[in-house]
Structure 1
C-alpha cells in the first residue's frame, strides 16, 4: 500500500512524539502536520528535505520514515543518496563561510588577504535533483548551522530560479519544527 502524505505525517508525528504529551509536544505535532500537508511543497521535496534533515539531526526515526516515503515515490536512488550527502558539503561550506563572515565584518582587508574559498564544490552547479529542491535543502541546513551568508546567498539564488518564497518559508518552518522535536 502506498503511503500518502497524510499517513506519512501521522505516523512520523506519533514516532517523533514518543508517547509524550504536553503543550509543547501538541504545538510541535500541530505545526508539523500543518506544514508537511501544505500544498507549497511537493511530496518529493518533503521526502528529500527530510532525508537531509535526518542526517543533520542524526534522527534515525526521521531517516527511516523519509526513506520509506521516498521509496514509495520512486525517487531515483542517486538522488536519495545526494540528499543524504548534502549535509556534508553544506556543513563544510557553512563552517567556512561563517568564519569568513565573522572576520570580514570586523576587517574589510581580510577578504582580500584570505582570497578565494579554494574548496571543491562542483555539486552546487550540477545537482542530480531539481536545482530548486537542492537550494531549499541548502537554505534549511544553513539555518540550522547558523550561516547567515549562506542563507542569504541560497535564498537569493532560489528566488531568482523561480522558487516561491512560500515554498522556501514552508521548508524553513518544517526545518524549525523538526529542530524542536530534536531538542525534546
Structure 2
C-alpha cells in the first residue's frame, strides 16, 4: 500500500522540485479537504500512474471523514473528462463550424448523480481538464465554479494540484 511519503521518496533528485511541491500543494490553501482530495484523486486517475493513484487514494481515505463519495466523484470526473476533453479539444482545435454544430451524443448521466456537490464536482472536472489540455472545457468549468460561488483562488489552487500531480506521474515514469 503506497503512501504519499513513499511515492515522494521514489522521485529522483532530478525531480526534487516536484517532490517538494507534491507536499506543499496538498497542505492548506483555499480548498476544503474534500475539494483538495477530490482534485488530487481525480488528477492521479487522469495521470495514469498506478503508484501515485494508490497513494492519493490512501491519503484521501486518511484525511477525510467520509472519503467514499469524494473518491467516487473523482473517479467519475476523471472518466468523463477523459471522454469530453478529447471530443471538445478536437472540435476546438479543428475550428470548423460544421463540427461545432453537430450534436456530441456522448452520455454524461453521472453528472446528475454527483455524490458530493455540483460545484465541487465541476472544480474537479476543471483540474482534470487542465491536465488533458482542453481549453473549451477549462473555460466552461471555470465559469460554472465561479458562478457557483467558488473563488479564483480556489480555481488556482486546484490547477496547482493538477500540475504537480501530473509532474509527479511524469517523474515516477522517467
TM-score by length of 2: 0.84
Q: Runs of 5+ in structure 2 lacking a partner?
A: none
- Ranked by relative contact order (alpha carbons within 8 Å, sequence separation 6 or more), the top structure is 2
CA radius of gyration, larger in: 1
Give, in whole Å, the separation in 1 of the partners of 2:4 and 2:59: 11
- The answer to whether 1:122 aligns with 2:112 is no
Superposed CA RMSD in Å reads 2.1
Q: 1:167 aligns with which of 132, 154, 169?
A: 154
- The answer to whether 1:177 aligns with 2:164 is yes
- Decide whether aligned partners of structure 1 residues 13 and 176 sit closer, same or farther in structure 2, where only a CA change above 3 A counts: farther
- The question of whether the paired residues in 2 share the 8 Å contact of 1:16 and 1:61 is answered with no
> Equivalent residue for 2:57?
67
> Equivalent residue for 1:51?
41
CA shift, 1:91, in A, is: 1.0
CA shift, 1:95, in A, is: 1.1
- The question of whether the paired residues in 1 share the 8 Å contact of 2:30 and 2:157 is answered with yes
CA shift, 1:155, in A, is: 0.5
- The answer to whether 1:82 aligns with 2:69 is no
- The question of whether the paired residues in 1 share the 8 Å contact of 2:52 and 2:169 is answered with no
- The answer to whether 1:26 aligns with 2:13 is no
Q: Runs of 5+ in structure 1 lacking a partner?
A: 1-10
> Equivalent residue for 1:111?
100
Structure 1 outlier segments of 4+, above 6 Å = none
- Decide whether aligned partners of structure 1 residues 160 and 67 sit closer, same or farther in structure 2, where only a CA change above 3 A counts: same
- The answer to whether 1:131 aligns with 2:118 is yes
> Equivalent residue for 1:6?
none
Give, in whole Å, the separation in 2 of the partners of 1:31 and 1:15: 13
How many pairs does the alignment contain? 168
Give, in whole Å, the separation in 1 of the partners of 2:26 and 2:67: 21
CA shift, 1:48, in A, is: 1.7
- Decide whether aligned partners of structure 1 residues 153 and 99 sit closer, same or farther in structure 2, where only a CA change above 3 A counts: same
- Decide whether aligned partners of structure 1 residues 138 and 19 sit closer, same or farther in structure 2, where only a CA change above 3 A counts: closer
- The question of whether the paired residues in 2 share the 8 Å contact of 1:48 and 1:66 is answered with no
- The question of whether the paired residues in 2 share the 8 Å contact of 1:17 and 1:181 is answered with no
CA shift, 1:14, in A, is: 4.6
Give, in whole Å, the separation in 2 of the partners of 1:29 and 1:141: 20
